[in-house]
Homo-oligomer: A and B are copies of this chain.
Amino acid sequence: MVNVGIYGASGYTGQELLRLLLRHPEVRIAALTSRRYAGMQVSDVYPVFFGLTGLSFMDASPAEVAQVCDVVFLALPHGVSMQIAGEFLNAGKKVIDLSADFRLRDVRIYEQWYREHTAKTIIKEAVYGIPELYGNVVSRARLIANPGCYPTSAILGLAPLVAEKWIDTASIIVDSKSGVSGAGREPQVGTLFCEVDEGFRAYKVGQHRHTPEMEQELGCLADHDIRISFAPHLLPVSRGILSTMYATLHKDVTAADMNDLYRSFYEGKPFVRICREGTLPNISSVRGSNYCDIGVTVDGRTKRAVIVSAIDNLIKGASGQAIQNMNLMCGFDEVAGLQMIPLFP
Contacts and interface: CB of A to CB of B under 8 A. Distances in A.
Interface of A: 12, 15, 19, 22-23, 46-52, 170, 173, 175, 177, 180-181, 185, 187-189, 191-203, 205-206, 227-229, 231, 233, 235-240, 242, 244, 246, 273, 275-276, 279-289, 291, 293, 295, 297-302, 304, 306, 308, 310, 339-345
Contact of A344 (B48, B51, B237): B48
A285 B202 CA distance: 13
A238 B194 contact: yes
A282 B235 contact: no
Q: Which of A46, A52, A205, A291 has the most CB of B within 10 A?
A: A205
Contact of A302 (B52, B199, B203, B227): B227
A244 B293 contact: no
A181 B197 CA distance: 11
A297 to B, nearest CB: 5
Nearest to A299: B206
A282 B47 contact: yes
B341 A283 contact: no
A191 B197 CA distance: 12
Number of copies: 4
B345 A201 contact: no
A206 B50 contact: no
A197 B343 CA distance: 12
7 contacts: A23-B341, A47-B279, A47-B293, A51-B273, A199-B285, A200-B310, A229-B302
Contacts of A200: 177, 235, 237, 240, 242, 282-284, 310
A155 B18 CA distance: 32
Contact of A304 (B22, B193, B229): B229
B229 A306 contact: yes
A299 B202 CA distance: 14
A184 B340 CA distance: 23
A185 B193 contact: no
B198 A280 contact: no
A231 B281 CA distance: 14
Contacts of A286: 48
B187 A192 contact: yes
A193 B197 contact: yes
Contacts of A202: 242, 244, 280, 295, 308
A342 B48 contact: yes
Contacts of A288: 288, 343
A298 to B, nearest CB: 8
Contact of A193 (B191, B244, B297, B342): B191
Closest CB pairs A-B (n = 8): A199-B284, A206-B299, A194-B345, A187-B187, A201-B282, A48-B342, A193-B196, A238-B345
A22 to B, nearest CB: 6
A1 to B, nearest CB: 18
A205 B280 contact: yes
Contacts of A344: 15, 46, 48
